Amino acid sequence: MKALVTIRFKDGVLDPEAVAIGRALQGLGFAEVRSVRREKLIELDLETDDREHARARVGAMCEQLLANPVIESYRIELPDGGPAA
């Protein structure tokens, strides 16, 4: 089954790359850009059909590798239909 993980900086954490993108857009003449935020999206294909198990495992992946829980928050989605455990 597929799992989607969306990772973003927590509110209040400065994202220098987003700031740089905003400045670069302004410099290119896109004066209407007020602010820029970035998120990372990671799509995992998992060898399991157990939604509850998948959610727990992907949570562990986020804590151990995918996200930095100090400054980032993450959201896990399991878009496939099927029985929720």
By CB under 8 A, name the binding residues for a second copy. Answer: 6, 18, 21, 24-25, 28, 30-48, 57, 60-61, 64-66
Taking a C-beta distance cutoff of 8 angstroms, is the pair 77, 7 a contact?
no
Nearer to a second copy, 20 or 71 (CB): 20
CB of 83 to a second copy, least distance (A): 19
CB of 21 to a second copy, least distance (A): 7
Dig out the tokens for 62 from the structure.
């986020």
CB of 19 to a second copy, least distance (A): 13
Nearer to a second copy, 10 or 38 (CB): 38
Nearer to a second copy, 60 or 71 (CB): 60
Of the candidates 44, 60, 51, 39, the residue with the CA atom closest to the CA atom of residue 4:
44
Q: Quote the CA–CA distance of 22 and 64 in Å, as a whole number.
A: 31
Taking a C-beta distance cutoff of 8 angstroms, is the pair 2, 82 a contact?
no
